[in-house]
């Protein structure tokens, strides 16, 4: 049986005692290294201390590669106890051998407050470029692949070292998901899914994001998926539109919020003619009647689609292909509002000023009563004309509100889903067109218990992440093909 070197993060002897004991019980663990950011005086017997800048740094990854001398290298990424399952290392190495994997990772149990729950993870795809992709905390690399990947790491990252390693390893061999529960890890981040999803745009994490973007961009260049900043120009003269803009609101059962959304649209002040198309997807809670309260305003189109198989994306298609849809289609979710009466004007102005086919604004996170909540203002300033569409393959969203040049949107069409459809559009639009930005706060994004992503279980969250990774994969494949044709 092949052997494995084990590297685990170290804070103090008590923190690593149980993990070290479990590793020593396996005949496969030839050496155990403790990755420490501070001086260590109480290392467990038989362990070697390795001083590192941080666990996620390039410095740590290079030191791991230099010390690794077994067939495989295990990296544990949590500062809590690891409990390996029966013959877990044997199983992981066996599959690593059989699949010729560059790295293997597995489903596992999450222990929270003493209770263990199943925590399945998802399979890695070509488009799994998110730096927060969840592999779990046990990563087992083929040491030769690890060393080859590290040899190609030219940047010195403080935060993106492990991410850079994973990307470069994926260029050389597959990253294999073992859908078996092979270990238990203690979880300390017990926030709901809706509280975690905005971590990547928290302003305090900006330095991290800069490094992650650089690592991802270099990866895209290496695999042929990078797009240079060259864009198609738009004349804005396609079609014959009575209205300059239409606000599109798909809605189903939002009696508590739909009136606020509608008012925020009808209160807009513009120099052009606009309307509001509300696609009412067979609401049953009084939402339809609430919409009809505004029927006296001729700008409101209350559309009930003929089809009953439409998700949010399908409702968007119904609205965008309506004969009264304007030249620009501007998004508003049924539980959000525009920040003031100038939002629509600012969004439309951006199309002409920046010659773009899609515009993304800036929003503020609020509670139900419109009080600002963390992380506050989300401006997505990581989006640059030079590299925004490349970095878009790494992050999980592009911002709000989103607006589209209707002739292009009618051509591309919206995926008929209720999650990720806006992200898919952003990637598709950015393949050929510039995406414009409005950095004024023009949108209030309400977070409350009825948000679709407020509190998802792991299975549903995995489904969402798998779909977004598929979107990235398809887009990446299209971009590689586009570059090959040039």
Residues of the chain with pLDDT under 70: 1, 188-204, 452-455
What CA–CA distance (Å, rounded) separates 401 from 384? 17
Is the N-terminal amide bond of 375 cis, ω within 30° of 0? yes
Residue extents of the structural domains in the chain: 4-190, 245-485
For residue 352, how many other CB atoms are within 10 A of its CB?
11
DSSP-assigned letter for residue 124 = -
Reported as a single tens digit per residue, the pLDDT across 28-39 is 999 999 999 999
Pinpoint the alpha helices (H) of 68-205: 88-99, 143-151, 161-170, 193-196
Domain 4-190 matching CATH 3.90.550.10: the answer reads yes
Contact 189, 196 (CB under 8 A): yes
Beta bridge partners of 74: 6, 140
| Phi/psi of residue 37, nearest 5 degrees | -95, -5
Cα separations (Å) of 283 from 287, 303, 304?
6, 12, 9
- Is the domain 245-485 a CATH 3.90.550.10 member? yes
Residue in the block written with tokens 């525009």: 338
Q: For 56-85, write each residue's pLDDT tens digit.
A: 999 999 999 999 999 999 999 999 999 999
CB 142 within 8 A of CB 72: yes
The whole-number pLDDT of residue 191 equals 43
pTM: 0.93
Q: How many other CB atoms sit within 10 Å of the CB of residue 102?
A: 23
pLDDT of amino acid 188: 60
Contact 361, 400 (CB under 8 A): yes
Predicted pLDDT of residue 413: 97
Using CB atoms within 10 A of its CB, is residue 483 exposed (0-12), middle (13-18) or buried (19+)? middle
How big is the chain by its Cα radius of gyration, in Å?
A: 25
What is the pLDDT at residue 193? 44
Both tokens of residue 437? 């930005």
Q: pLDDT (tens digit, 9 = 90+) per residue, 233-246?
A: 999 999 899 999 99
Residue 76 has what pLDDT?
A: 97
Per-residue pLDDT of 132-175, as tens digits, reads 999 999 999 999 999 999 999 999 999 999 999 999 999 999 99
Do the strands 103-112 and 175-186 form a parallel or antiparallel pair, or are they unpaired? parallel
4-190 and 245-485 have identical folds: yes
**Where would I find the H helices in 267-335?**
287-292, 312-320
Using CA atoms, how far residue 417 sits from 16, 278, 420, in Å, is: 45, 18, 7
């Amino acid at each position: 049986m092949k052997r494995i070197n084990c590297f685990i993060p170290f804070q103090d002897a008590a923190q690593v005692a149980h993990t070290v004991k479990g590793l020593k019980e396996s005949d496969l663990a030839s050496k155990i290294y403790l990755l420490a950011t501070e001086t260590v005086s109480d290392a467990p017997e038989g362990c070697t201390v390795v001083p590192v800048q941080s666990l996620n740094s390039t410095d740590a990854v290079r030191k791991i590669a230099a010390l690794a001398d077994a067939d495989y290298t295990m990296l544990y990424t949590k500062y809590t106890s690891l409990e390996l399952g029966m013959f877990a290392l044997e199983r992981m190495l066996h599959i690593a051998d059989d699949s010729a994997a560059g790295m293997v990772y597995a489903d596992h149990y999450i222990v929270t407050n003493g209770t263990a729950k199943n925590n399945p993870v998802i399979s890695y795809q070509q488009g799994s470029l998110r730096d927060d992709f969840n592999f779990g905390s046990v990563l087992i690399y083929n040491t030769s692949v690890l060393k080859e990947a590290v040899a190609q790491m030219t940047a010195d990252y403080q935060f993106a070292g492990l991410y850079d390693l994973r990307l470069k390893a994926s260029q050389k061999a597959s990253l294999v998901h073992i859908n078996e529960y092979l270990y238990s890890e203690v979880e300390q981040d017990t926030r709901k899914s809706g509280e975690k999803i905005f971590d990547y745009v928290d302003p305090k994490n900006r330095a991290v994001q800069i490094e992650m973007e650089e690592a991802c961009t270099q990866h895209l260049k290496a695999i042929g998926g990078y797009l240079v900043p060259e864009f198609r120009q738009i004349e804005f003269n396609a079609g014959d539109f009575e209205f300059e803009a239409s606000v599109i609101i798909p809605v189903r059962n939002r009696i508590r919020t739909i009136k606020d959304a509608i008012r925020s649209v009808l209160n807009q002040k513009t120099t052009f003619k606009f309307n509001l198309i509300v696609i009412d997807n067979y609401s049953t809670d009084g939402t339809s009647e609430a919409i009809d309260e505004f029927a006296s305003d001729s700008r409101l189109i209350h559309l009930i689609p003929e089809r009953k198989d439409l998700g949010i994306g399908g409702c968007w298609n119904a609205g965008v292909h309506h004969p009264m849809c304007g030249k620009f289609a501007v998004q508003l979710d049924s539980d959000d509002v525009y920040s003031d009466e100038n939002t629509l004007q600012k969004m439309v102005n951006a199309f002409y000023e920046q010659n773009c086919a899609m515009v993304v604004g800036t929003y503020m996170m609020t509670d139900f009563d419109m009080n600002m909540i963390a992380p506050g203002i989300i401006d997505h300033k990581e989006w640059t004309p030079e590299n925004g569409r490349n970095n878009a393959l790494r992050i999980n969203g592009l911002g709000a509100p989103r607006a589209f040049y209707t002739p292009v949107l009618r051509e591309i069409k919206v995926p008929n889903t209720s999650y990720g459809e806006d992200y898919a559009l952003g990637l598709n639009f950015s393949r050929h067109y510039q995406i414009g930005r409005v950095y004024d706060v023009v949108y209030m994004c309400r977070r409350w218990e009825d948000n679709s992503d407020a509190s998802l279980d792991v299975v549903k969250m995995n489904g969402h992440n798998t779909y977004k990774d598929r979107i990235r994969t398809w887009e990446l494949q299209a971009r590689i093909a586009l570059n090959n044709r040039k």
